[in-house]
Amino acid sequence: MDLSEINFAVLVASLIVASTPLVLAALGELIVEKSGVLNLGVEGMMIIGAVTGFIVGVETGSAYVGMMAAAMAGALLSLLFAFIILIMQANQVASGLALTIFGLGIAALMGHPYTGIKSPQISTISIPFISEIPVLGTMFFQHDLIVYLSLISVLVIWYFLNRMRAGLILRSVGEDHDVAHSLGYRVVTIRFLAITFGGAMAGVGGGYLSLVRVPQWTEGMTAGAGWIALALVVFSGWRPFRLLIGAYIFGGITILQLNLQAIGVNINIALLSMAPYLATILALVVISMSRFRGNRGAPGCLGRSFVKIT
Amino acid sequence: MNNKIENTLFQCRAINKEFGNVRANNDISINVRSSQIHALLGENGAGKSTLVKIIYGLLQPDSGTMTFLNEEYSPKSPKDARALGVGMVFQHFSLFEPLTAFENILVGLDKELGEKELHASVIMLSESYGLEVNLSSFIGDLSAGERQRVEIIRALIQKPKLLIMDEPTSVLTPFECESLFKTLKKLASEGTSILYISHKLKEIADLCDTASVLRKGAIVGEYDPKKMTPRELGEIMVGQSLFKPKRPVAANKSNKVLSVKINEVKPDTQFGVTLKNIDLAVYQSEILGIGGVAGNGQEELMQVLTGEKKDRNVSIKYMDNDIEMLNPRERREIGLAFAPEERLGHAAVGNLNLLENSLITDPKKRFQMKMGFIDFSELSEYTNEIIEKFNVKTTGVSALASSLSGGNLQKFVVGREIGQKPSLFIVNQPTWGVDPLSAANIRQAIVDIANTGAAIILISQDLDEILEISNKVAFLTNGNLSIPTNTMDIKTDEIGAIMGGISD
């Protein structure tokens, strides 16, 4: 075993790549939950995004077109969920679980002919000048477009939720839909939009997984990433920046343990594979403990069906 | 006459609204003149709320027309109403608890307004109308009065010409009521008309220029409250003469039912009140009234009495047994009954129906058959009796508790507890939000069980209620309880001093 075999700069760069699907999917779910909807179908929407993105990417030869298709596929599936819970007013938990199961099944069916094919390459964009900085440049400034977009999304979503009127309205709907309704806001429309956005983000997250991170299609390749994204939203206290930190811790330990396995560290593989999950939970529990009023994040109407009062 | 028509700000003609086969509004016409405080008076379920929801655009009428500022007015949503100059302050505040006061005001606006600009107008409003609010505090940390001020500011900031206030005083302390009235009078004098919904007759006489009375969804007539006694107005409202319950006949001193001694009980939250030096006893057939302004330890005392909060430093003797360490259910089993103030979520479970709500507070297992089966015929008979006796307006025993209006649920809760035939009944705010006739019924029912031997502790912020039916009264100030005095011996001018904590 030789720890010096691990290049720290490359490690950080690859942890960012590994975490990006989580960041994307979790940010989408953050918006959905802020509007008061609990969509447990993230895993399903991610895998639909992964398979659609891969198929379209392979057929068109463009990873970007694939990524867009992934977003649309995720959004489309989430519309089904939105219809079931907002119009038919079905239970959100059950509907979300069904969405995941449905997504996994249909993705396996769609992706079958594409197993084992290589995906089109996505080019990295080196940011002029700053990517030349040793170590830091390798870590942060030699990535593909989607990574940059995911980081910008964190900023934009934070700004949207905390500084913009539309974000305030979204939060209001999630905190108390009856009050929002009595003020004249369209609860169902706003939630429809939020769910669709969440679906698109999960779709892109999935697409990134199959087109960049792995990059190929295997059945069930999301392997619980959707669930981790859901957990990140809760543990982050519905805050975008904490969510990013949580995702990077998870991604970082995943990459680290893979590296450790590769150089033959004498630790049980099962323990190593478990490490990212444990570390993420631990870190986020500590973050949420440090502030006693951290519970302010949970939207008041999360998971509750909106029935118009008369 | 001509002058009057010119002064008309808002008018509705022949408004009809049906829910299922219930006619909530039946051919309602009212006429609100400018710069006036116009009362809309009626019992719980008379159709007041439906009417104002129509005016505010939350509901659309089945038929009828409205005019506002001499133009046809038919808002499709509250946004339309606000844009045209109609504002509303709700009975159950329409504020978001996890958001700050400022964010709440912001979210109620229909257009984007710069933060500085908004701050400036809020400060201007709060100064000129005496509406003090800390903008950066979270609504969840504010008192009812402060929350209402936030709502009023939110409504006023859009410069409404008609402001609807739905039972604004039901959650306020007397002091807060006074400052609200000042604000409203100032608004009216500056040209804003106010449609004021209430069933508190006294305040309508003090405040309002005109009163439209609603009964069973229809207009009874328009009256001048300044020229009538509250009692006359009340009788028009309920359509029959009001009666005054008489306090129970003097108690039998020898049968002490409960004695409570508290040196000090610290609150669970930082906003709570520390209970100190409480020494009270209540005898058979006696009503002990505990008055005082809200937030002086009523909640905390209630928790100690019900057993929701157990404390070793408290001594509670019930018929010679120490019960301070018993939980609420164990206390209920030995003959105590409680009706806490908060009706939904504390006194009743919103998502259970009335049958189930009767069942869960039945400690004597009256409705239980062998092997744990529920005796539904017995249970529905009992529940129907409550509904009938206390005039609870509901679709039936299988209606969810949350579907009842506040006042009706209150009647149900009190009826359910009294139906347990308790030896000791402890009730907090029994007639909060209940119309006068039903309130009189509730008070009469409390007196009735006292006359059959029960002891009653009546905690209420309604001073008239306490003076009307209590044998003895005591007042809570800052967690201290004054020494209980015979109601007959107390002078009204002393009460203010006691409540203000000046003397004991």
CATH homologous superfamily for the domain B243-335+422-504: P-loop containing nucleotide triphosphate hydrolases (3.40.50.300)
Task: Give which of B49, B55, B58, B106 to mutate to test A binding, by max A Cβ within 10 Å.
Answer: B58
B-chain CB neighbours of A296 within 8 Å are 98, 138
| Token pair in block for residue A263 | 């150089």
pLDDT at position B497 is: 65
Q: What are phi and psi of A305, to 5 degrees?
A: -75, 145
Q: Judged by CB atoms within 8 Å, which residues 64-103 of B form the interface with A? A: 77-80, 82, 90, 94-99, 103
Size of interface A-B (CB pairs under 8 A): 44
At B423-467, the pLDDT tens digits run 999 999 898 878 788 888 889 989 999 998 899 999 998 888 888
* Spatial contact of A104 and A48, defined as CB atoms under 8 Å apart: no
3-state secondary structure of A28: helix
ipTM associated with this complex: 0.79
- Residue B57 forms contact with A (CB below 8 Å): yes
| Distance between first and last Cα of chain A | 70
3-state secondary structure of B122: helix
Predicted model pTM: 0.76
At A161-217, the pLDDT tens digits run 998 889 999 999 999 898 898 888 999 999 999 999 999 999 999 999 999 988 899
pLDDT at position A263 is: 84
Question: Looking at CA atoms only, how far is residue A31 from chain B in angstroms?
Answer: 17
pLDDT at position A292 is: 43
Residue with tokens 């005898």: B283
pLDDT at position B255 is: 85
* Spatial contact of A203 and A71, defined as CB atoms under 8 Å apart: yes
Identity of the amino acid at B312: R
**Is B77 in Cβ contact with A184 (below 8 Å)?**
yes
Task: Examine domains B2-238 and B243-335+422-504 and report if their fold is the same.
Answer: yes
Name the residue facing B79 among A171, A175, A184 (closest C-beta).
A184
Residue with tokens 């379209």: A56
**B123-154 per-residue burial string, b: 16 or more CB within 10 A, e: under 16:** eebbeebebebebeebbeebeebbbbbbbbbb
The C-alpha atoms of residue A104 and residue B167 are separated, in whole angstroms, by: 53
The C-alpha atoms of residue B29 and residue B14 are separated, in whole angstroms, by: 5
Taking only Cα atoms into account, the Rg of chain A, rounded to an integer number of angstroms, comes to: 20
pLDDT at position A33 is: 95
**Is A169 in Cβ contact with B78 (below 8 Å)?**
no
The three-point CA angle B288-B319-B468 to 5° equals 15
Within 10 angstroms of residue B453's Cβ, the number of other Cβ atoms is 14
Within 10 angstroms of residue B168's Cβ, the number of other Cβ atoms is 25
Q: What are phi and psi of A63, to 5 degrees?
A: -65, -30
pLDDT at position B270 is: 65
Residue in chain A lying closest to B61 (CA): A310
Q: Which of A71-80, A142-151, B105-114, B478-487 has the highest mean pLDDT?
A: A71-80
- Residue B17 forms contact with A (CB below 8 Å): no
Could you tell me the residue ranges of all domains in chain B? 2-238, 243-335+422-504, 343-421
Picking from A90, A99, A106, A110, the residue whose alpha carbon sits closest to that of residue A44 is: A99
pLDDT at position A109 is: 95
B464: CB partners within 8 A, 6+ apart: none
Question: Looking at CA atoms only, how far is residue B429 from chain A in angstroms?
Answer: 26
**Residues for chain A: how many in total?**
310
Q: Where are the beta strands (DSSP E) in chain A?
A: 124-126, 142-144
The C-alpha atoms of residue B92 and residue B166 are separated, in whole angstroms, by: 9
Q: Judged by CB atoms within 8 Å, which residues 115-144 of B form the interface with A? A: 138
What H or E segment, with its residue span, contains residue B424? strand B424-428
Higher pLDDT, A242 or B499: A242
User: What kind of architecture, by CATH, is found in domain B2-238?
Assistant: 3-Layer(aba) Sandwich (3.40)
Q: Where are the beta strands (DSSP E) in B76-133?
A: 86-89
Alpha-carbon A142 to chain mean position: 21
Residue in chain A lying closest to B138 (CA): A296
At A226-237, the pLDDT tens digits run 999 998 998 888
Residues of chain B scoring pLDDT < 50: 1-5, 502-504
pLDDT at position B503 is: 39
3-state secondary structure B258-282: EEEEEEEECCCCCCCCCEEEEEEEE
The C-alpha atoms of residue A55 and residue A66 are separated, in whole angstroms, by: 7
Q: What are phi and psi of B380, to 5 degrees?
A: -75, -30
Topology, domain A3-121+147-290: ABC transporter involved in vitamin B12 uptake, BtuC (1.10.3470)
- Evaluate if residue A238 carries a pLDDT over 50: yes
Q: Where are the beta strands (DSSP E) in A3-155?
A: 124-126, 142-144
Residue with tokens 């005001």: B105
3-state secondary structure of A214: coil
| Token pair in block for residue A282 | 């631990």
pLDDT at position A135 is: 82
B-chain CB neighbours of A239 within 8 Å are none
* Spatial contact of A140 and A16, defined as CB atoms under 8 Å apart: yes
**Is A171 in Cβ contact with B99 (below 8 Å)?**
yes
Q: Which stretches of chain A sit within 8 Å of chain B by CB?
A: 165, 168-169, 171-172, 175-176, 179-180, 182-184, 296, 300, 310
The C-alpha atoms of residue B341 and residue B464 are separated, in whole angstroms, by: 18
